[in-house]
Amino acid sequence: MATPDSTTPFAATKKCPHCGRWTEWQQRPTDRCQHCGQELEPHRAAADEHRQQQADAPLSDRLMLIEIKPDDNPVIKFFKYIIRGGQLAFGALMAFFVWLVTVAAG
């Protein structure tokens, strides 16, 4: 199975989701239909873009901490703080266990 980034010598064909005709493609998310010029995998292209955005995201986002927006409902905010507290506590607990194992291993 080829990775999306590798260039494959084999010309694959894919049925275009837009015009329904078969077109050659290099199995890359940015490949476009030979007939209508639309992206063959708009979902995957969007997913790649999303992944790129996540890579640029601040640390709190990469830690998957729940986002608390300033305009959130106070009740929602309250619950989000609880969830976030749980996430942080879990992270601290994990760090503690890592420390414990390190110390125990001498």
Least distance between Zn ion and beta carbon 36 (Å): 3
The stretch near Zn ion (CB under 5 A) out of 12-20, 53-61, 75-83, 93-101 is: 12-20
Decide: 48 and 29 in contact? Cβ < 8 Å. Answer: yes
Tell me, what amino acid is at 20?
G
Specify the residue, 16 or 25, whose C-beta has the smaller distance to Zn ion. Answer: 16
Considering only CA atoms, give the Rg of the chain.
Answer: 23
**Considering only residues 25, 27, 29, 33, which one is a binding residue for Zn ion as defined by CB under 5 A?**
33
Nearer to Zn ion, 31 or 48 (CB): 31
18: contact with Zn ion by CB under 5 A:
yes
Residue 19 binding Zn ion, by CB under 5 A:
yes
Size of the site for Zn ion (CB under 5 A): 6
β partners of residue 9? none
Nearer to Zn ion, 36 or 47 (CB): 36
Q: What tokens does 63 get?
A: 């830690």
Q: Are 85 and 72 in contact (CB under 8 A)?
A: no
Q: DSSP string covering 36-74, please?
A: T--BS-HHHHHHHHHHHHHHHS-HHHHTTPPP--TTS-H
Summarize as ranges the residues that interact with Zn ion (CB under 5 A).
16, 18-19, 33, 35-36
